[in-house]
């Protein structure tokens, strides 16, 4: 990456939790941040952190007008160095007969199609040596779910299906852009104490944001990282 300019990162789901912690982490390291939030009040709060470093975009990643909102805002930046697709939501129904097909569709809309929409909008602005990080989950790993190691941690069908769909999107992008200079990867951020916490949550979003910031320069294309534990099988 070019060190003569301030780097810029685009982060979705920045109103709270991991996305908010990431926004603060990058601003405190002199990056410019374009955080995507859904509500005016959250944009105002973020802008107040540092109006010269933080340029919020108000949109919903399931909304069809998302792409033009993103492009109107980020054309004012000198390219995007890092995109973190972080926005996400949990689901209900941990058993087959509790699972509603409408909710599965709605979570796929957020976790997979939301990532698709945002990435399509940001891609024309990505620096040639930029990094795209999709925030997935250990529950999106078919390998991990199939070994049974997560059997004692309740998680909805919808969330697991939606994150697995996102993982396939990530791998499709990894194959298409394998010789492009871009680095594309997925992360499980850890068991974070946020509004979407699992029953075994034990880390803060700030701890996870600090680890992600430190590992940026060593990220490898095509990997599925677990921030506190190395890497995960897809
Ligand atoms: N917490 C964990 O232990 C954990 C573990 C594994 C993976 N993850 C993943 O990590 C990411 C962040 O999780 P978190 O724990 O920080 O969650 P969180 O505290 O619940 O925050 C979720 C964020 O996503 C935003 N969001 C949800 N739906 C959106 C939409 N349709 N359009 C735009 N923004 C939307 C929310 O915005 P609003 O404030 O407007 O609702 C909020 O900013 C998620 O992808 C989650 O699946 C979390």
pLDDT at 64: 86
What angle is formed at CA 42 by the lines to CA 36 and CA 45, rounded to 5 degrees? 115
70 lines ligand 1 (CB under 6 A): no
Distance CA 123, CA 173 (A): 11
CA of 14 to the centre of ligand 1 (A): 8
pLDDT at 24: 98
The CA distances from residue 93 to 22, 96, 135, 153, in Å, are: 30, 7, 22, 13
Closest ligand 1 atom to the C-alpha of 14? 43
pLDDT at 28: 97
Per-residue pLDDT tens over the stretch 151-179: 999 999 999 999 999 999 999 999 999 99
Per-residue pLDDT tens over the stretch 57-68: 999 999 989 999
CA of 156 to the centre of ligand 1 (A): 15
Mean pLDDT of 195-223: 96
188 lines ligand 1 (CB under 6 A): yes
204 lines ligand 1 (CB under 6 A): no
Distance CA 188, CA 136 (A): 5
Distance CA 73, CA 31 (A): 17
Per-residue pLDDT tens over the stretch 128-157: 999 999 999 999 999 999 999 999 999 999
The domain ranges of the chain are: 8-231
- pTM, entire model: 0.97
pLDDT at 107: 98
CA of 109 to the centre of ligand 1 (A): 13
CB 33 within 8 A of CB 54: yes
CA of 152 to the centre of ligand 1 (A): 22
**100: pLDDT confidence band, cut at 50, 70 and 90?**
very high
pLDDT at 4: 67
CB 53 within 8 A of CB 27: yes
Per-residue pLDDT tens over the stretch 182-203: 999 999 999 999 999 999 999 9
pLDDT at 5: 87
Per-residue pLDDT tens over the stretch 1-39: 445 689 999 999 999 999 999 999 999 999 999 999 999
As assigned by CATH, the class of the 8-231 domain is: alpha beta
pLDDT at 1: 47
């Amino acid at each position: 990456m070019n060190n003569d300019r301030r780097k810029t990162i685009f982060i979705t789901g920045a109103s709270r939790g991991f996305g908010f912690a990431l926004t603060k982490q990058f601003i405190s390291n002199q990056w410019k941040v374009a955080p995507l939030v859904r509500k005016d009040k959250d944009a105002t709060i973020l802008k107040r952190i540092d109006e010269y470093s933080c340029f919020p975009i108000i949109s919903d990643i399931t909304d069809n007008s998302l792409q033009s909102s993103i492009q109107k805002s980020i054309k004012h930046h000198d390219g995007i160095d890092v995109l973190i697709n972080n926005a996400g939501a949990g689901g209900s129904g941990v058993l087959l007969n509790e699972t509603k097909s409408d909710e599965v569709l709605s979570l796929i809309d957020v976790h997979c199609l939301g990532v698709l929409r945002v990435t399509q909008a940001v891609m024309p602005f990505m620096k040639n040596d930029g990094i795209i990080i999709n925030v997935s989950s250990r529950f999106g790993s078919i390998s991990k779910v199939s070994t049974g190691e997560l059997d004692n941690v309740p998680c909805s069908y919808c969330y697991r299906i939606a994150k697995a769909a996102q993982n396939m999107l990530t791998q499709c992008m990894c194959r298409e852009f394998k010789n492009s200079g871009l680095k594309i990867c997925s992360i499980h951020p850890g068991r974070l104490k946020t509004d979407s916490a699992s029953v075994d949550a034990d880390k803060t979003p700030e701890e996870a944001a600090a680890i992600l910031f430190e590992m940026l320069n060593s990220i490898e294309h095509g990997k599925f990282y677990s921030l506190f534990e190395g890497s995960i099988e897809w």
